[in-house]
Amino acid sequence: MFAAAIHAGSEAASVDWRSDYDALTYEVVSVPDAVADGVRLFMSHYQLNYGAFDFAVTPTGDWVFFECNPAGQWQFIAQATGLPIAEAHARLLQGAMS
């Protein structure tokens, strides 16, 4: 699992982060165990090899699930954070992961 927080640096981006890309910053974050377990259960139930999950994190630290995009974009996150997402996809396609 690769997780990154997208932080909005403008009022427009706070409403919809896609409205002001220049105001965004990115941070690699850890996924809480309970959330990771839920993601794995979701992936197993729907027989997915990949999913781009969207969450919000409340001020008290609760993760709120919005959706899973089974073909969601990830390159901009990898580029901004250095997360090795492309390499994981390559290993998956080569059969190195189940």
- pLDDT level of residue 96 (50, 70, 90 thresholds): low
- pLDDT level of residue 95 (50, 70, 90 thresholds): confident
Helices (H) and strands (E) in the chain, counts: 4, 4
What is the chain's alpha carbon radius of gyration, rounded to the nearest angstrom?
14
Q: What is the pTM of this model?
A: 0.86
Compute the average pLDDT of residues 26-44. Answer: 97
* pLDDT at residue 98, as a whole number: 53
Amino acid (1-letter code) at residue 39: V
- pLDDT level of residue 93 (50, 70, 90 thresholds): confident
Write down the CATH superfamily of domain 4-93.
ATP-grasp fold, B domain (3.30.470.20)
Domain spans, the chain: 4-93
